[in-house]
A and B are shown apart, each in its own frame.
Chain A
Amino acid sequence: EAQVTQNPRYLITVTGKKLTVTCSQNMNHEYMSWYRQDPGLGLRQIYYSMNVEVTDKGDVPEGYKVSRKEKRNFPLILESPSPNQTSLYFCASSWGALDEQFFGPGTRLTVL
């Protein structure tokens, strides 16, 4: 089944404790992206990747890192999480940058 998977689905952590949210897609898509969704602010793009080893900042990249060492994986790294990073995070992928996005199920992160 074609899908985008994210892990973990739920995470509660404390300020400053490094964490990684994994994202994997099995559709051989070139484009992958991370978004955060907050009430009243909609979805905002954090980082995106046009292909392996090619990443670029979205609208809200501060406090996040990404890497794209393999085509299928695009982990989101929070080196030192803070409470303002409490949010619902979505990973998405598509064939190319102009195409429809396939979204993962989301990761609900709480930073205390």
Chain B
Amino acid sequence: SQQGEEDPQALSIQEGENATMNCSYKTSINNLQWYRQNSGRGLVHLILIRSNEREKHSGRLRVTLDTSKKSSSLLITASRAADTASYFCATRGNQGGKLIFGQGTELSVKP
């Protein structure tokens, strides 16, 4: 079952602009994680936010979590061409070991 749904599927912006990606999920979670994937490569973990947290920062990344709406957003500020990649959210439930990924947002940052 696909828990996470991401929006938009694709996003094209200019360098220096901010990029916002959204993730919605269906069931209760223990945490939500964001990953980045450069074309055809392995995923790299960006940030983890727990269900009792509302906002988290890491460098140019800002993640918010709204458990009442079952949604999260990832903001990349002052984007760079090197941020061009696919970004995935993944949710971890409270029971068991499943990690469920969304389908991803493909971000293109033009120099």
Contact = CB atoms under 8 A, between A and B. Distances in A.
Interface of A: 4, 31, 33, 35, 40-45, 48, 50, 56, 58-59, 88, 90, 92, 97-106, 108
A64 B96 CA distance: 20
B98 A59 contact: yes
Interface residues of B, number: 25
Contacts, number: 66
B25 interface: no
B30 A45 contact: no
Q: Is the interface of A mostly helix, strand, loop or mixed?
A: strand
A99 B92 CA distance: 9
Contacts of A45: 98-101
Nearest to B34: A100
A59 B1 CA distance: 7
Given A59-B1, A98-B30, A48 B98 contact: yes
Contacts of A4: 42
A106 B100 contact: no
